[in-house]
Amino acid sequence: MGKRRMTDNTNNPTPTKSRRLVIVTGDKGGVGKSTFSRAMIQTYLDNNQNFAAFDADMSNPQIKRFYEEECTVMPLDIFRRGEADISLLDELKNLIDPPEKDTIKSPNKNVSESSNPDLTNSPDKDAQPVAFVSKSLFLLELPPQSIQFFRSFEEEMGFFKMVGKKLDMRVTMATVINRTKDSVNQFIHLRDFCGDKVDYVVVKNLFFGEKDRFERYDNYPLVKELQNLNKSIPEIYMPDLIAHAYDYLDENNLSFSKGIEQSQKLSVQGRVEKWMENFKKSIEPAKHLLGLADVNLQSES
């Protein structure tokens, strides 16, 4: 095999785009993708970001389960060829610039009939002007074992180029890893086909060990080579939420904010509140790649 081709990465200047799509991946199940996605969504909500989420994990849709009442969440079956054409690419366009028919006045029409979840009603029954707020931030969580399907979608569609040119959007691949060799290999595979068409963030899940225990990733030849060239891939650390608090949220289908608001378990309230605080601190170095460039994540007490 030939020498691995080097590409630019997120420490180098990338084309400035007005919109951001964060794709959460990590092709092994159980690495913490859904926990990271939920924490990012909570961070967006806490900072009043105008965003939408796509949940492509049809067998275990955690974004939908925990957050469908708090933000726009849309399903996406990435395993069906052609589904991402409509349910992702076309939907992104509609959330940014809706079809003309969705923005006109429609007397005595219930807006719930519209396919767009972000249309709102006027209380005037005779003429209901439909207000639409264009979104500029999006999060997509991919399910386990889906990266090959997403690769086919990119190769057949030219997805990254399409959203860049037509939607003025830059993509970030946020890859959650554990300490195993497989997890690292899958990230390298992802980087091979995405190249410099996207930005990257590596999320080390501290559930699997301390910061210095990700030796397989840290010692990978390409990772070391990029470090030597001052082109390191941005890394963040997802804190470990203690089991009893995590389980309480899971058993009761509580978002992180609802876990903080509930008063039944003060131990859960304290653990989750501090965990979210630590999570926001951890993503600060890469916030510009996660759609939060202009947000002060340290402003909250």
pLDDT of res. 261? 98
Give burial (CB, 10 Å; 0-12/13-18/19+) of 12: exposed
- Residue 7 pLDDT more than 90? no
Give burial (CB, 10 Å; 0-12/13-18/19+) of 82: exposed
Q: Are 205 and 238 in contact (CB under 8 A)?
A: yes
- Given the structure tokens 């601190």, which residue do they identify? 281
Percentage of the chain exceeding pLDDT 70: 83
pLDDT of res. 26? 84
Q: Where are the domains of the chain?
A: 19-97+135-239, 98-133
Q: Are 280 and 296 in contact (CB under 8 A)?
A: no
Task: Give the Cα separation of 238 and 282 in Å (integer).
Answer: 7
pLDDT of res. 206? 96
Which amino acid is residue 60, in one-letter code? N
Task: Give the Cα separation of 261 and 239 in Å (integer).
Answer: 20
Q: Which pLDDT tens digit goes with each residue over 237-292?
A: 999 999 999 999 999 999 999 999 999 999 999 999 999 999 999 999 999 999 99
Of 232, 216, 203, nearest to 141 (Cα)?
203
- Residue 128 pLDDT more than 90? no
| Domain at 19-97+135-239: CATH architecture | 3-Layer(aba) Sandwich (3.40)
The phi and psi torsions of 36 (rounded to 5 degrees) equal -65, -45
Task: Give the Cα separation of 51 and 133 in Å (integer).
Answer: 10
**Residue with more model confidence, 110 or 297:** 297
> Mean per-residue pLDDT for 37-52?
97
pLDDT of res. 130? 53
- Residue 160 pLDDT more than 60? yes
Q: Are 149 and 175 in contact (CB under 8 A)?
A: no
Q: Are 217 and 180 in contact (CB under 8 A)?
A: no
pLDDT band for position 133 (cuts 50, 70, 90)? confident
Q: Give the mean pLDDT of the chain.
A: 86
pLDDT of res. 17? 83
- Residue 122 pLDDT more than 50? no
Q: Which 8-state DSSP code applies to residue 111?
A: G
- Name the token pair of 17: 């785009």
pLDDT of res. 30? 86
Task: Give the Cα separation of 116 and 102 in Å (integer).
Answer: 8
Q: Are 54 and 88 in contact (CB under 8 A)?
A: yes
Q: Which pLDDT tens digit goes with each residue over 76-112?
A: 999 999 999 999 999 999 999 887 655 444 333 333 3
Q: Which pLDDT tens digit goes with each residue over 215-239?
A: 999 999 989 998 999 888 999 999 9
